[in-house]
Amino acid sequence: MIRVLLADDQATIRGAFRIILDAQPDITVVAEAGDGHSAVEQARHLRPDVVLADIRMPGLDGLEVTRLLAGPGVADPLRVVVVTTFDLDEYVHTALRNGASGFLLKRSSPTLLAEAVRAAVAGDALISPQVTVRLLRQLSAPRAAEPAEALTAREAEITTLVGRGATNNEIAAELFISAGTVKNHLANIQRKLAVRNRVGIAAWAWDRGH
C-alpha cells in the first residue's frame, strides 16, 4: 500500500482527498496535518510514501514544507506533491526547485490526484495539464532532436496525447488499449527519447509540434 500524509489547513479538503485516496485499492491515508509545522513533524516521524501538501497553510507554507522534506539539502528526502488552488508560475517554479514530485491544481480530477501519488512513488513527476502546457510554452531550449530509434505509429500517438496533458487512463480510453499497455509504451518512449519522465515526453512532443 502507498502511504499518504495529507497537509491542508481546510478539514473539508482533507476529508475529500481522504475519501478519494482511501477508495483506491493501493493507497491509504495514514495521517493528516492542518499546518506546515505539523506536516513536517509527522512526515519525519511516519515516513509516508507521499506527502500531499497545500501551499497556503499556517506556520510553514507548502513550498517550505517541500524544501524541508524533499529539497536538495535533505539527506533522506520524501516525495511531496504540491496541491493548490492558485495557478501561479512562481509557485510552480519554486515547488519544483524545492524538490516537489508533482504539482496539481485542486480542481484536478480524482483520477489525476491518485495518478499523481502513484507517479511520485514511481519516481516520476506529474503536473496538472493546464500548468504543463503553459510551462512548455515558456521553454527556450533548442528544437528537440529526432530520437536515435524512431517511434512507432502507436508511440507517436501516445506521445501526442501526453503532450496534450492526457493521463494514462485517458490515453487508454482514447486508443482503446489497457492502462498497462500505455505504461509499457511510455517506458519505450522514454528510452527512445532519452527523457526521465512524462514531463520530458510532453516537452519533446510540444517542441516537435506534435
The pLDDT tens digits along the chain (210 residues) read 999 999 999 999 999 999 999 999 999 999 999 999 999 999 999 999 999 999 989 989 999 999 999 988 888 999 999 998 876 777 887 888 888 888 888 888 888 899 999 989 988 877 876 665 556 555 444 455 677 789 999 999 999 998 887 888 889 999 999 989 999 999 999 899 887 777 778 778 877 766
Quick one: cell of 16? 475529500
Radius of gyration of the chain (CA): 17
| Separation in Å, CA 27 to CA 17, 113, 119 | 11, 11, 12
Residues 6+ apart with CB under 8 A from 170: 161
String of b and e for 37-49 (b: at least 16 CB within 10 Å)?
bbbbebbeeeebb
